[in-house]
Amino acid sequence: MPDILLHLLPHIAAALLYAGLGYHFWHTRWNDSGKPLDPLPMQTWERCAIAFALFLQGAGLYNELFSSGSLRFSFSLAASLMLWLAVLIYWLESFRSRMDGMQPMVLPLAALSAALPVAFPQTHEIAHAQAMGFKMHFLVAMLAYSLFTLSALHAVFMGFIEHKLHRKTLNRHQASLPSILSMESLLFRMIGIGFLLLTLTLISGLAFSEQIFGKAFVFDHKTVFAFASWVIFAALLFGRYNYGWRGRIALRWTLAGFLVLILAYIGSRFVLEVLLGRV
């Protein structure tokens, strides 16, 4: 029992720290207490606390993924790794862009994702994990998932701020955030980079399939959903740069592409591992 607890401790500690930070940021940035709130950029101690939570979750993930000498994976580890990378990208991007209003959305989800390996500990060994083609495919795919996760959260946050702006219910901190146009520019920058990574994911997946299975295209649900997501984001970027799509249209297309992308691996693994009990 002590060994099991020690094994799970980084996940539990990271989840509790993320949850505490999420509440802190909600209370100091979003809570409409009736009192005017002064503009409050992210403080040094807050950045350090998020960095420590990232370290704890990262240590737990590394131990889960590689401790057996081979790569082990599951839907819970995939979701946890995806949110870990999303928070890391958010943390790094916050040094150059004003993203400090998103913590009450990002951190609770990070807490949930950090706890998933504790609630669903089943894992399976990934075949051909030592192949260079697979390593490149895996890395690029996780980065693409993470960027699109952050893009989806950013789009929802923009919708939240725009709604409060129209109703004139922004508190002082929310009113001090960058303009909707600046936030929209950041959103499409993230989507553009994510789309490039998703394109590389599909290309590397085809190359890896050719290398291992001798055929470039395996027609399964993961491939179908991944290509469908690629088409959605391609249409969104085309509409943005040719027709000036923005606002609710951009929000709907971003969320649609993200949900389809989630179904490509994490959703299907959840059904297999949790609902059907297969590894």
For 81-136, how does the pLDDT look when each residue is reduced to its tens digit (9 = 90+)? Answer: 999 999 999 899 888 877 767 888 899 999 999 999 998 888 777 766 677 777 78
Q: pTM value?
A: 0.84
Please provide residue 151's backbone torsions phi and psi, each rounded to the nearest 5 degrees. Answer: -65, -45
For residues 93 and 178, give the distance between their C-alpha atoms in angstroms, rounded to a whole number. 14
pLDDT at residue 45 above 90? yes
pLDDT per residue over 18-33, tens digit each? Answer: 999 999 998 887 776 5
**CB-based contact 64:117 (threshold 8 Å):** yes
Distance CA 250, CA 159 (A): 10
Beta bridge partners of 124: 73
Q: 69 is written with which tokens?
A: 């000498």
Arithmetic mean of pLDDT over the chain: 83
- In three-state secondary structure terms, 125 is strand
Q: Is the pLDDT of residue 266 over 70?
A: yes
Identify the residue with better confidence: 243 or 2. 243
Helix/strand/coil for 72: strand
pLDDT in tens, 176-222: 677 888 889 889 999 999 999 999 988 888 777 666 555 555 666 77
State mean pLDDT over 53-81. 86
Instruction: Give domain limits for the chain.
Output: 2-275
On whether the CB atoms of residues 269 and 75 are closer than 8 A, the answer is yes
Rounded Cα distance, 191 and 44, in Å: 28
Please report the pLDDT score of residue 1 as a whole number: 46
Predicted pLDDT of residue 219: 62
Say how far apart CA 201 and CA 253 lie, in whole Å. 20
Distance CA 188, CA 201 (A): 19
3 state SS of 16: helix
Are the C-beta atoms of 199 and 144 separated by less than 8 Å?
A: no
Position 32 scores a pLDDT of 61
